[in-house]
A and B are shown apart, each in its own frame.
Chain A
Amino acid sequence: MNQDYTLEVNGVEYPVSADTSRNLLSVIRGDVGLTGTKEGCDDCECGACMVLLDGQPVNSCSFLAAQAAGRRITTIEGVMDGEHLSSLQAAMIEEGGVQCGFCTPGMVMSATALLGTNPEPDEEEVRIGLSGNLCRCTGYTKIVEAVMRAASETGDS
């Protein structure tokens, strides 16, 4: 059954008419039209679909879109600092935390949420913060280093 509702994504309200069983990932990509959020396992294991709901990371593949109505959704398209990359995005490039790039949006979302609640995490806290995100290229070391770098730069400023 189709249901009409409004999703607030990156501060913009999008009217949606979609089958109630559709997941948030599918509606963000197919109806809202933002394709930065990726579908990996589609099984709540890999974290490629990570978005923020009211600032907290959620696997959008396994969250019903209609249930997100009225909540603040943030995707990878919404993390830039105005016209500039966020310090985390810049650090991911500078530290070589990106290889094939498929996990990157999800990694950035989890790390953005982590730094939002814990601006100066230690390495263990970064690894726990990213523990719901799989990467098959980097071996994680450079991603962790990028988050640590972003944290120290944010902490300094």
Chain B
Amino acid sequence: MSLVIADSLADALSALAGGARPIAGGSDLVVGARQGTAALPEALVAIDRLDELKGIVTDESGVRIGAGVTHAELMTDPVIVDGLTALADAAALVGSPSTRNVGTIGGNVMNASPAMDTGAPLVVLGATVELATTGGSRRVPVSELWDGPGTTTAAADELCVALHVPPSGDRSGSAYVRLEYRRAMEIAVVGAAAAVTLDDSGALATARVALTAVAPSIVEVTGLDLTGRSAEDAVASVADAARGAASPISDLRASDGYRLHTVGVMASRAVDAAIRRAGGDSIAVPVNRAEGIGASR
């Protein structure tokens, strides 16, 4: 096999057009190869040093998160922590410090695991993924990118170069929580993200909820009409709505029935934390640690 370290985005896109596969931190690709999931591709192009994929930039159209931004950066960047808090909650729960140093949001999104922590936050925040080739680029809502466990609708020569998140209004907040059996090096048993906006009376103006590890891909709870509901009412009613959107499997980490029950609990907690953040409460990142959700020490 061969490995080329790309000097520019154009170099990387040319390599992809020639059949190479991209590698950033290698935390999925190299680990997968060593576990026998899939052999390393014959040709790799390293994209972890590309300035074009770095950085978190805000303008009138929202926030652009470079695909090469690491989980360690996401969990501490003020733009993410203050404005896209659910994404910071999720990034802070991924793996361990070393995983978060090498793992990137672009890699996490394109790996398309149904248990990915950053996925549900990106859905509720309305994110689109920017895919580039030598011929140009296009944007796709993240929920239309994932096609099943480990598969996406992106073509082989398309590189994820950024995630774009539109601005959210005043009195908005978001949160991500997950059920976990241990506090680090863990994969979500189930998880839920919520993003809400409050009206002047403190009732819900908008609300989106998405679920982790209860379907072949991250799923949004559709048909959720919480507009005008009080916080208490929304927290109470979202659990059943979440269970209605879930179609979990049984595996070594949990049974389908356990996942179905607990994803409702996680959805309620995510909505509760998002509403409190929207109302001005400061809940530290990640909510799991701040609120004692998930594994205790």
Contact = CB atoms under 8 A, between A and B. Distances in A.
Residue among A66, A69, A114 with the highest chain B CB neighbour number at 10 A = A66
Interface residues of B, number: 29
Given A45-B185, A131-B185, A62 B31 contact: yes
B98 A110 contact: yes
Interface residues of A, number: 33
Interface in A116-136: 127-129, 131-133
Interface string A31-46: 0000000000011110
Contact of A127 (B3, B26, B27, B297): B297
Contact of A63 (B26, B44, B96, B183): B26
A23 B33 CA distance: 11
Given A43-B34, A131-B183, A67 B97 contact: no
A21 interface: yes
Interface string B234-261: 0000000000000000000000000000
B98 A67 contact: no
B102 A63 contact: yes
Contacts of A45: 185
Interface string A126-157: 01110111000000000000000000000000
Dominant secondary structure of chain B at its interface with chain A: mixed
A98 B136 CA distance: 55
Contacts of B5: 66-67, 69-70
A52 B187 CA distance: 24
Contacts of B30: 23, 62-64
A43 B34 CA distance: 7
Contacts of B101: 53, 56-58
A47 B184 CA distance: 12
Interface in B24-40: 25-27, 30-31, 33-35, 40
Contacts, number: 85
B27 A62 contact: yes
A107 B40 CA distance: 29
Nearest to A132: B96
Interface string B25-64: 1110011011100001000101010000000000000000
Interface in A10-60: 20-21, 23, 42-45, 47, 50, 53, 56-59
Contact of A44 (B2, B3, B27, B44): B27
A79 interface: no
Dominant secondary structure of chain A at its interface with chain B: mixed
A103 interface: no
Nearest to A54: B101
A64 B185 contact: no
A91 interface: no
Residue among A67, A128, A129 with the highest chain B CB neighbour number at 10 A = A67
A43 B44 CA distance: 20
Contacts of A1: 1-2
Nearest to B99: A132
19 contacts: A3-B3, A42-B34, A44-B27, A44-B31, A53-B101, A57-B97, A57-B98, A57-B101, A59-B102, A62-B26, A63-B25, A63-B102, A64-B3, A67-B23, A127-B297, A131-B183, A131-B184, A132-B95, A132-B97
Interface of B: 1-3, 5, 23, 25-27, 30-31, 33-35, 40, 44, 46, 48, 72, 95-99, 101-102, 183-185, 297
